Amino acid sequence: FHEWIGDKWAILFSHPADFTPVCTTELGAFAKLKPEFDRRGVKMIGLSANDLNSHDKWIADINDISHTTLSFPIIADPTRQIAWTYDMVDAQDTTNVDEKGIAFTIRSVFVIDPAKKIRLTMMYPASAGRNTAEVLRVVDALQTGDKKGVTTPIDWVPGEDVIVPPTVATEDARKKFGDVREVRP
């Protein structure tokens, strides 16, 4: 997995099962946003609790329903070994199992930086779809913070004001960033 990531950012997102309606819409949405993730140097990889044969059929279904071309890999995890290892299993509802009696995964998102550090996790219940725009926004915020040494306020999007950490004196911030608006001394 680390070799696949290389020197890029990565997003790993899990799905309870192939062909579920919510998962299908999510993968279609991520496929449509792939050029935006590519522009930011982010590789995407999905994980679903079915085998590769099922994935191939599901990808065709996703492409048809979403009018897109899914072009990132999906990990096959039919035994949920990866899901259990990375705490992607629905601990609140272990009765939510497949025909083999194995617990389904929840919708997890991991944002991983080029140093292979998990920078963000988001966990959604199986009943709620993710917000792909929020995943992209968080990548922008993390990358901006790393590049500029700043933090981002709630609902921040590129082009809006950022926050200079309180550990940086106002004069030092002005030297580094130029025009600085001081809200609180």
Alpha-carbon distance values, 103 to 17, 109, 114, 130 (Å): 11, 18, 31, 20
Q: Which of 23, 70, 103, 109 is catalytic?
A: 23
Q: Which single residue is written with the structure tokens 């194995």?
A: 102
Q: Which single residue is written with the structure tokens 């329903």?
A: 65
Rounded Cα distance, 45 and 155, in Å: 25
- As given in the structure block, the two tokens for residue 119 are 């920078």
Q: Which DSSP string corresponds to 5-50?
A: HTTSEEEEEEES-TT-HHHHHHHHHHHHHHHHHHHTTEEEEEEESS
> Is 23 an active-site residue?
yes
Residues designated as active site: 23
